[in-house]
Amino acid sequence: MDAKVMKYVIEGPDHAVRASVKLPASKSISNRVLILNALSYSPYEIQNLSDSDDTRVMLEALTSNDRDFDIGAAGTAMRFLTAFLAKVVGEWTITGTERMKNRPIKLLVDALNSLGAKIEYTEKEGYPPLRVFGSALQGGEISLSGGVSSQYVSALLMIAPYMEKGLVLHLEGKIISAPYINLTIQLMKQYGVDVVWYEQTIKVFPQEYKPVPFTVESDWSAASYWYQIAALSQQPEIELTGLFKNSLQGDSAVAGLFAQLGVKTTYTKQGVLLKKNGNITQKLFYDFVNEPDLAQTLVVTCVLLNIPFRFTGLQSLRIKETDRIEALKTELRKLGYLLMDSHMGILEWMGERCEPEQSPVIITYEDHRMAMAFAPAALVRKGGIEIADPMVVTKSYPHFWEDLKSVGFRLTVNQ
């Protein structure tokens, strides 16, 4: 590994974790509402907008006069902006990091082109960078595999009301990440657009968005790391503010998952309060098809608590910021845990161990969730844990390390 890469040595607090934490705003909601705000020509400024890299990049693109956009590592921005710009008259280019140039986007581009868009690849067929010739879109009826990223579906749905024929979208096979599609639809409804989702078909008729004042709720995905800290701590008492029980976010499922790993959730006026409930399952079986972003947190927590697991529905993890399945297997092997996977989106651990490395350094692969899922390991590992390129957290939770320090974690920079 490059010796110049910054690393954090993280050690857990030497006292019980008792704190109130203001979580970042939901990135998923922020990124969708930015598009809907733009499409509705809203005069209202979005309240409590996420300060994540992904959202900042999207905001800059939507408010700039540029025609060439570099969205860095922001996958959501790449997909949402590709669809958005396809309906805005003009010529645009979108590029990103080297990793982004290797993340497939052909399915979305093909879908948009079949609906009347004109989008070309400027380097490698099927991958960014893209040249987008924006114009009015015909719309119509198309079919997509339900197994594709929900962001492709959301990108198409959000611009659908402005297609001349609207959009009839048939999703074939098993639908992954359905809560994210539902989140998009519910937000579209808040902006005054009717959407019909019946079984495998979603219909959006031609209509117009209406501007509304909007406040973004806190991020349940970010909450997962605090659930992890509670699960690995002795006598924790952690308040997370800005979370709602009846959240639109699919990752609110984290409360039920961690109830099986010893964490009790109490809903308060401010958010949630986490304490130990004393109930820990012997084995954990779960299908993450609806909440793939929680997988890394649960995998790391389970091995550290010595709880065997079998997790399914992880197909989309291979095309995230990194191949998250391979990354988890590689980095947990350094800590002495041998995970098994199959090509069917299954990852499992039945207690298999190997000799851990003497001084392991966790590589983050430009993936914010790798850094945050491994950081709580400092609570149970003697001497803490060392994480490379820790500032990748800015993608979704810029003040993560500051929040850890505020509750007693010790961070030392190791160049």
Q: pLDDT, tens digit, for every residue of 31-52?
A: 999 999 999 999 999 999 998 8
Domain boundary, last residue among 204, 230, 256: 204
Q: Are 53 and 4 in contact (CB under 8 A)?
A: no
Phi-psi group of 282: left, alpha or beta (phi > 0 → left; psi -120 to 50 → alpha; rest → beta): alpha
The helix-helix angle for 106-114 and 75-86 (nearest 10°) equals 10
Quote the number of domains for the chain.
2
55-103 residue pLDDT tens:
999 999 999 989 999 999 888 999 999 999 999 999 999 999 998 999 9
Could you list the beta-strand ranges (E) of 315-415. Answer: 340-342, 346-349, 361-362, 385-388, 410-414
153 and 47 assigned to the same domain = yes
CA angle 227, 229, 232 (to 5 degrees): 110
Average pLDDT over residues 137-152: 93
Query: Above 70 in pLDDT, residue 319?
Result: no
Residue 148 is predicted with a pLDDT of 85
76-89 residue pLDDT tens:
999 999 999 999 99
* Domain presence at residue 2: no
167 and 228 assigned to the same domain = no
96 and 174 assigned to the same domain = yes
Residue 1 is predicted with a pLDDT of 54
Query: Above 80 in pLDDT, residue 317?
Result: no
Residue 174 is predicted with a pLDDT of 87
328 and 295 assigned to the same domain = yes
- Name the pTM for this structure: 0.81
- Of the listed ranges 9-13, 50-54, 345-349, the one predicted with least confidence: 50-54
239 and 281 assigned to the same domain = yes
Residue 248 is predicted with a pLDDT of 87
Average pLDDT over residues 256-281: 95
Residues tagged active-site: 293
Average pLDDT over residues 309-330: 84
**Taking Cα atoms as reference points, which of 222, 182, 158 lies closest to residue 25?**
222
Residue 320 is predicted with a pLDDT of 64
CATH number where 38 lies: 3.65.10.10
Residue 32 is predicted with a pLDDT of 97
222 and 159 assigned to the same domain = no
Domain boundary, last residue among 152, 169, 204: 204
283 and 387 assigned to the same domain = yes
- pLDDT band for 225, please (50, 70, 90 cuts): very high
The boundaries of the domain holding residue 334 are 7-24+218-414
116-142 residue pLDDT tens:
999 999 999 999 999 999 999 999 999
* Domain presence at residue 212: no
Q: What residues contact 320, with CB distance under 8 A and at least 6 apart? A: 75, 292, 367, 369
Query: Above 60 in pLDDT, residue 167?
Result: yes
* Domain presence at residue 379: yes
Residue 81 is predicted with a pLDDT of 97
Domain boundary, last residue among 153, 176, 204: 204
Residues 386 and 404: their CA atoms lie apart, in Å, by: 15
368-403 residue pLDDT tens:
999 999 999 999 998 899 999 999 999 889 999 999
